[in-house]
Amino acid sequence: EAQVTQNPRYLITVTGKKLTVTCSQNMNHEYMSWYRQDPGLGLRQIYYSMNVEVTDKGDVPEGYKVSRKEKRNFPLILESPSPNQTSLYFCASSFDRNTLNTEAFFGQGTRLTVV
Amino acid sequence: DAKTTQPNSMESNEEEPVHLPCNHSTISGTDYIHWYRQLPSQGPEYVIHGLTSNVNNRMASLAIAEDRKSSTLILHRATLRDAAVYYCILRGSRSGNTGKLIFGQGTTLQVKP
């Protein structure tokens, strides 16, 4: 089954404690990205990757890092989480960035609370 | 980026058709019209997309106006499981980051039994 898998689904952490949210896709997609969803602000892109070892900033990259060492995995790293990073996070993948008429697949989401 | 405008909310009765409108008057000739939906506590889910012609799939139909400045997502028989936020999104090639989806506020669809 084609899917994007995120872990963990829920996470409560303390300010400053480094954490990683994993994302994996099984569709051999080139393009992967991370979004955060906040009430009243909708979904906003954090970082994206067009292929292995190619990553770039989205609209709200501050406080986040990513890596793309393998095609299937795209972890989101919060080196020093702060309360304003409390949010619902989604990983997404699609075939490639140039194909406008294909669909994107989203993970189930990770609800992060930073206290 | 081209903007889309959708009603904030709509209501429907179960087993009746639902027409969800979207205005995109600044659409360019190469922009695809995509629809996604987000069920409660889930990630966004692809519904349908099109460029110029009307499209049908197992989930819905997409009717695109002749001038492409508006489109309508049609759910032929709404079920309680169709209650979700529906997003109309334009995907174009203006920027290098063409994989990015720009989500607006969407339309919250309520389905009454």
- Identify all chain B residues contacting A106, using CB atoms and an 8 Å cutoff: 43-45
Read off the tokens for A111: 């609800």
**DSSP letter assigned to residue A77:** E
Query: Residue A25 has what pLDDT?
Result: 98
- Whether B101 sits inside 8 A of A104 (CB atoms) is yes
Computed over every residue of chain A, the mean pLDDT equals 94
Query: Residue B94 has what pLDDT?
Result: 65
Query: Residue B101 has what pLDDT?
Result: 87
Pinpoint the alpha helices (H) of B16-109. none
User: How crowded is residue A70: how many other Cβ atoms within 10 Å of its Cβ?
Assistant: 10
Taking the CA of residue B89 and the nearest CA in chain A, the distance in Å comes to: 11
What's the N-to-C CA distance of chain A in angstroms?
36
Query: Residue B1 has what pLDDT?
Result: 61
A110 and chain B in contact, CB less than 8 A: no
Say which of B43, B99, B106 has its CB closest to residue A106: B43
Say which of A48, A50, A103 has its CB closest to residue B46: A103
Least confident interval from A32-41, A48-57, A99-108: A99-108
Is there a cis peptide before residue B44, judged by omega within 30 degrees of 0? no
Among A71, A90, A89, A75, which residue's Cα sits nearest to residue A26?
Answer: A71
Query: Residue A97 has what pLDDT?
Result: 64
Q: Which residues of B sit within 8 Å Cβ distance of A? A: 30-32, 34, 36, 41-46, 49, 51, 91-93, 96-101, 103-106
Average pLDDT over residues A18-46: 95
User: How crowded is residue B14: how many other Cβ atoms within 10 Å of its Cβ?
Assistant: 14
Give average pLDDT by consecutive 10-residue segment, chain B, 113 residues. 89 97 92 94 95 94 96 96 96 76 93 96
Taking the CA of residue A103 and the nearest CA in chain B, the distance in Å comes to: 6
pLDDT, tens digit (0-9, with 9 covering 90-100), for A64-104: 999 999 999 999 999 999 999 999 999 999 987 666 778 89
**Distance in angstroms (rounded) separating the CA atoms of residues B83 and B112:** 9
Query: Residue A91 has what pLDDT?
Result: 98
**Distance in angstroms (rounded) separating the CA atoms of residues A71 and A45:** 19
Query: Residue B98 has what pLDDT?
Result: 77
